[in-house]
């Protein structure tokens, strides 16, 4: 029941890729499964139907590809259709020749307009602009207050007055001109798409402000109704794009697919957290690859890029593979890791993580405990944990507010992990390993028939354009190889998890 | 287990970074997307600004700037929003006279739903295509694909047994089946005499928790109770302000803490204040939280524990679900129930085009009764859930 779309597709795909030839019945079964999976992900029924139709048409059509077996071909088609449905490119925001550039936010109650307005203002600010927030939600008690508080946090002025929303919006444009603000973000009251009166009001706000961008704010948890809402707002306001909120939840986000398909406007931004900086341009290709079980590798790498120094990371990885990784290094890496955001979010982005591991709840406080333990060790103990005897262990436990069993548990797990990494690293120099990795990647070795993210790697390396990694050589050689990070498959992780299970604290 | 996972993740990420960075840097180096580059710059600075980015959410929440400043700012500008607040007041006085009929209010949802069913009623024989259409009508109402399939299969069996063939008969059977699903549930709201009852209102972000409390306050006062609202949403900006306005409208007492404060202590203060001011129901607001944020769910469990400390007596834990919510509603119901032992569901925003079909899945799979329904923004627009009317309205 709670299987995510990703798991669903993984299930279907693993069954598919076990077969060499795809029969007509297989195609139908896949399509049925895809229908259920998409519907459970809240993709609108009409959208599912058209998507399914397109997939079927192409699957039974002529496009026979020599390099791919039929199963892979269906996967490729599904991937491509999903990506197309989610929208081609990321929206590029252009600015009005004569400032201010006006942005209007509209949507249902509780979709997140006010918070998104502030997040958008922050985003514009980071682009070097001077936004003005406009509180035109005079309906909900304290909505303007909320906007003022948020505006204060990001140091963006908020304009509002106790008149009526249309007047507020009109005057706000004047205010922006006179105070030299080049972006105006109008936060409107939440309204039901079927409320004629309020829909007329929002149309008048739009008329008065003639916005350059009108965004519909859509909650990622929205069900089948997303399409009706989007259509109604689009009719009234001619939307330019959609802001998808609450994407950090466990909703499968089918609404994104539906809205894009029905309105034909891109998902411009996505909100992925409660903090004001948890907001960014939407990447349709990444969403599709997430749906398809690839994890969100690109976002992860991008985040990592901002926090990790490349040389440091490479050095750390090399140390790991050579079994030289010390607790001190580990501590440092954990601290870097923490900067990338809550660990639960990171896990969600890791590709090919088996469901059991993905569902494990990770308490960020656990990190604190581990840090405390390591910090209570002497430098010598950190680089050579073997010297830790009972008396040292007791001291460490006392210093970190834990107990000796926990300390021992951590050390055990760490050394097991180190051994394992050493085995993964295998023999040879770092350089040779690296080459082998690349070589492996180039051949698109194992990988259980998963799909690689579109545009994920530089051309030629792996599967630009959503090509499929053929299932092939089984990972008998795994201990010698670094399990490619975009291809660390379920087996690898399950094995890792299993090997470690006995060493639980 | 979690230490293991942590170490595994650290290792995987580090390795990923080592390989990934080279790739990405290469890609960037070839001068691809300018916006992407801009963004990473921006995010980079964001990192610098917030060193404690990955500390636990509770800590992040505490980091909301200077509560005192916020209070001053709020107090100063309450007036600004006052006029629209006054506007609904006359309605408040009049509305009890014209208590909205659940049935009438669902008119719009009804018409949309029968739109899909319309053709079927006239059919003399329900063939496979028609069965599928029937199932699709349920899916479009957010009943969910699994539940819809089960319902339709059951009805198909029954239709065969009863040799019901035409559209009318089959629809009657479906309706009967859906009635059964919602029958025999205790939908009353519990208030124990002589106790400081606590009703905890929980849910994900933006479903209408604060508004529901506002409406509940009015309702309880009309019924002769003495409610006290506890502004336990200390996270969202101006949430306490919003609740204060509702308290003023309804005449309920209110206790609020500082923005960024500990929600448990605000609610505990609320309970204590209720006991001393002789209020018999504490309506405890909580911050919206997505159910997959385990630390926030832990925080909520703590709130519940603290709320039931003497003299507190938790008699209802109401999960607010937005009618536009799709299948994620099930996950919400399940996880919140695990965390705080939900006693009932409040289905809000049912006056829109969304049908709230997720009710079926929630009631049938989890046995959680829907107790209240929100049908509008007015203070009297919170009504008892009436399953018979609800199902009938879907079919009329």
- In this predicted model, what pLDDT tens digit does every residue of A132-166 receive, in sequence order? 999 999 988 889 999 999 999 999 999 999 999 99
Residue A241: the pLDDT is: 92
Residue B78: the pLDDT is: 33
Residue B258: the pLDDT is: 86
Mean pLDDT of chain A: 74
What's the gap in Å between the CA of B86 and the closest CA on chain A? Answer: 11
For residue A504, list chain B residues with Cβ-Cβ distance below 8 A. Answer: 1, 3-4
Q: Please judge whether B8 and A225 are an interchain contact, meaning their C-beta atoms are less than 8 angstroms apart.
A: no
Range A200-220 average pLDDT: 94
Count of alpha carbons within 13 angstroms of residue B90, beta-carbon side: 3
Cα separation, A456 vs B196, whole angstroms: 58
Which has the higher per-residue pLDDT, A343 or A277?
Answer: A277
Residue A493: the pLDDT is: 47
Q: What angle do CA B239, A232, A266 make, to 5 degrees?
A: 80
Whether the predicted pLDDT of A314 surpasses 70: yes
Q: What percent of chain A shows pLDDT beyond 90? A: 30
Residue A20: the pLDDT is: 59
Nearest residue to A244 (alpha-carbon basis) of A96, A105, A342: A105
For residue B112, list chain A residues with Cβ-Cβ distance below 8 A. Answer: 228
Nearest chain B residue (CA) to A275? B60
Residue A353: the pLDDT is: 57
CB under 8 A, 24+ apart: contacts of B385-390: B385/B102, B385/B187, B385/B347, B386/B102, B386/B103, B387/B179, B387/B182, B387/B183, B387/B185, B388/B179, B388/B182, B389/B102, B389/B103, B389/B106, B390/B102, B390/B106, B390/B182, B390/B359
What number of H helices and E strands is found in chain B? 17, 8
Reading the block at residue A20, the tokens are 């060499």
Whether the predicted pLDDT of A426 surpasses 70: no
Tell me whether A169 touches chain B (CB under 8 Å).
Answer: no
Least confident piece of the model among A86-90, A127-131, A248-252, A492-496: A492-496
Reading the block at residue B246, the tokens are 């509702």
* DSSP secondary structure letters along A202-237: HHHHHHHH--SEEEEEEETTB-TTHHHHHHHHHHHH
Whether the predicted pLDDT of A79 surpasses 80: no
pLDDT confidence bin for A108, thresholds 50/70/90:
very high
For residue A121, list chain B residues with Cβ-Cβ distance below 8 A. Answer: none
Range A169-178 average pLDDT: 94
Cα separation, B226 vs B254, whole angstroms: 11
Q: Which residues contact A207 (CB under 8 A, 6 or more apart)?
A: none
Nearest residue to B286 (alpha-carbon basis) of B199, B187, B157: B199
Cα separation, A201 vs B107, whole angstroms: 23
Least confident piece of the model among A295-309, A321-335, B58-72, B363-377: B58-72
- Flag whether the pTM goes above 0.80: no
What's the gap in Å between the CA of A472 and the closest CA on chain B? Answer: 23
For residue A361, list chain B residues with Cβ-Cβ distance below 8 A. Answer: 2, 294
Low-confidence residues in chain B, pLDDT < 50: 1, 20-98, 109-110, 396
Residue A281: the pLDDT is: 87
Nearest residue to B342 (alpha-carbon basis) of B232, B209, B144: B209
């Amino acid at each position: 029941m709670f299987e995510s779309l990703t798991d669903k597709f993984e299930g279907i795909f693993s069954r598919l890729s076990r077969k060499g030839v795809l029969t007509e019945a297989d195609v139908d079964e896949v399509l049925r499964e895809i229908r259920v999976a998409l519907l459970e992900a809240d993709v609108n029924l009409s959208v599912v139907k058209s998507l399914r139709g397109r997939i079927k048409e192409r699957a039974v059509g002529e496009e026979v590809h020599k390099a791919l077996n039929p199963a892979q071909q269906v996967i490729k088609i599904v991937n491509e259709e999903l990506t197309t449905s989610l929208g081609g490119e990321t929206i590029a925001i252009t600015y009005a020749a004569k400032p201010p550039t006006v942005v209007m936010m509209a949507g249902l109650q509780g979709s997140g307009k006010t918070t998104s307005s502030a997040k958008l203002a922050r985003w514009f600010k980071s682009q070097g602009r001077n936004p003005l927030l406009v509180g035109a939600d005079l309906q909900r008690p304290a909505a303007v207050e909320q906007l003022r508080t948020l505006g204060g946090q990001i140091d963006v002025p908020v304009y509002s007055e106790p008149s009526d929303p249309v007047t507020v919006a009109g005057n706000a444009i004047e205010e922006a001109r006179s105070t030299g603000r080049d972006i105006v973000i109008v936060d409107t009251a939440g309204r039901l798409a079927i409320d004629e009166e309020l829909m007329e009001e929002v149309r008048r706000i739009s008329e008065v402000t003639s916005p350059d961008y009108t965004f519909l704010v859509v909650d990622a948890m929205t069900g089948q109704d997303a399409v009706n809402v989007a259509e109604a707002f689009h009719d009234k306001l001619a939307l330019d794009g959609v802001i998808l909120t609450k994407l950090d939840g466990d909703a499968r986000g089918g609404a994104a697919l539906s809205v894009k398909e029905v309105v034909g406007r891109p998902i411009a931004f996505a909100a992925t957290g409660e903090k004001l900086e948890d907001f960014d341009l939407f990447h349709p290709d990444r969403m599709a690859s997430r749906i398809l079980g690839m994890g969100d590798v690109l976002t992860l790498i991008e985040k990592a890029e901002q926090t990790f120094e490349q040389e440091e990371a490479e050095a750390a990885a090399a140390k790991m593979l050579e079994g030289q990784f010390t607790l001190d290094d580990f501590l440092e890496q954990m601290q870097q890791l923490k900067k990338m955001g809550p660990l639960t979010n990171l896990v969600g982005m890791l590709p090919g993580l088996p469901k059991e591991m993905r569902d494990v709840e990770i308490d960020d406080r656990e990190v604190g405990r581990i840090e405390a333990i390591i910090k209570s060790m002497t430098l010598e103990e950190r680089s050579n944990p073997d010297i830790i005897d009972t008396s040292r262990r007791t001291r460490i436990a006392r210093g970190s507010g834990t107990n000796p069993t926990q300390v021992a548990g951590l050390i055990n797990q760490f050394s097991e992990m180190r051994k394992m990494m050493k085995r993964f690293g295998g023999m040879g120099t770092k350089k040779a390993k690296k080459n082998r990795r690349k070589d492996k990647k180039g051949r698109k070795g194992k990988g259980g028939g998963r799909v690689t993210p579109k545009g994920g790697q530089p051309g030629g390396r792996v599967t630009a354009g959503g090509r499929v990694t053929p299932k092939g050589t089984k990972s008998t050689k795994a201990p010698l190889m670094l399990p490619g990070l975009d291809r660390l498959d379920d087996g690898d992780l399950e094995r890792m998890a299993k090997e470690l299970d006995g060493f639980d604290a | 287990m979690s230490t293991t996972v942590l170490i595994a993740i650290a290792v995987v990420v580090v390795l990923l970074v080592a390989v990934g960075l080279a790739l990405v840097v290469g890609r960037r180096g070839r001068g691809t997307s300018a916006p992407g580059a801009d963004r990473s710059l921006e995010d980079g600075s964001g990192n610098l600004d917030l060193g404690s980015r990955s500390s636990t959410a509770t800590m992040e929440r505490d980091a909301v700037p200077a509560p005192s400043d916020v209070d001053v700012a709020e107090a100063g500008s309450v007036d600004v929003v006052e006029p629209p607040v006054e506007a609904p007041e006359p309605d408040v006085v009049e509305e009890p006279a014209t208590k909205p009929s659940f049935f009438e209010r669902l008119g719009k949802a009804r018409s949309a739903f029968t739109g899909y069913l319309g053709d079927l009623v006239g059919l003399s024989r329900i063939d496979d295509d028609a069965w599928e259409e029937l199932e699709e009508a349920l899916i479009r109402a957010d009943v969910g694909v699994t539940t819809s399939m089960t319902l339709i299969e059951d009805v198909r069996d029954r239709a065969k047994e009863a040799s019901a063939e035409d559209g009318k008969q089959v629809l009657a059977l479906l309706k009967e089946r859906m009635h059964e699903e919602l029958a025999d549930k205790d939908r009353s709201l519990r208030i124990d005499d002589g106790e400081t009852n606590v009703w905890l209102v929980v849910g994900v972000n933006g479903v209408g928790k604060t508004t529901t409390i506002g409406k509940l306050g009015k309702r309880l006062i009309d019924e002769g109770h003495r409610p006290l609202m506890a502004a336990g949403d200390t996270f969202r900006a101006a949430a306490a302000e919003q609740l204060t306005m509702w308290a003023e409208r309804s005449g309920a007492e209110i206790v609020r803490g500082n923005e960024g404060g500990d929600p448990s202590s605000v609610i505990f203060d609320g309970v204590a204040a209720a006991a001393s001011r002789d209020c018999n129901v504490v309506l405890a607001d909580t911050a919206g939280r997505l159910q997959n944020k385990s630390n926030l769910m832990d925080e909520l469990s703590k709130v519940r524990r603290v709320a039931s400390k003497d003299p507190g007596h938790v008699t209802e834990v109401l999960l607010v679900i937005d009618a536009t919510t799709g299948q994620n509603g099930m996950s919400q119901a399940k996880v919140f129930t695990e965390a705080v032992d939900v006693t009932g569901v409040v289905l809000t925003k049912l006056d829109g085009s969304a049908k709230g079909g997720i009710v079926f899945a929630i009631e049938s799979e989890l046995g959680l009764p829907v107790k209240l329904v929100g049908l509008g923004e007015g203070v009297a627009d919170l009504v008892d859930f009436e399953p018979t009317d609800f199902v009938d309205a879907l079919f009329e």
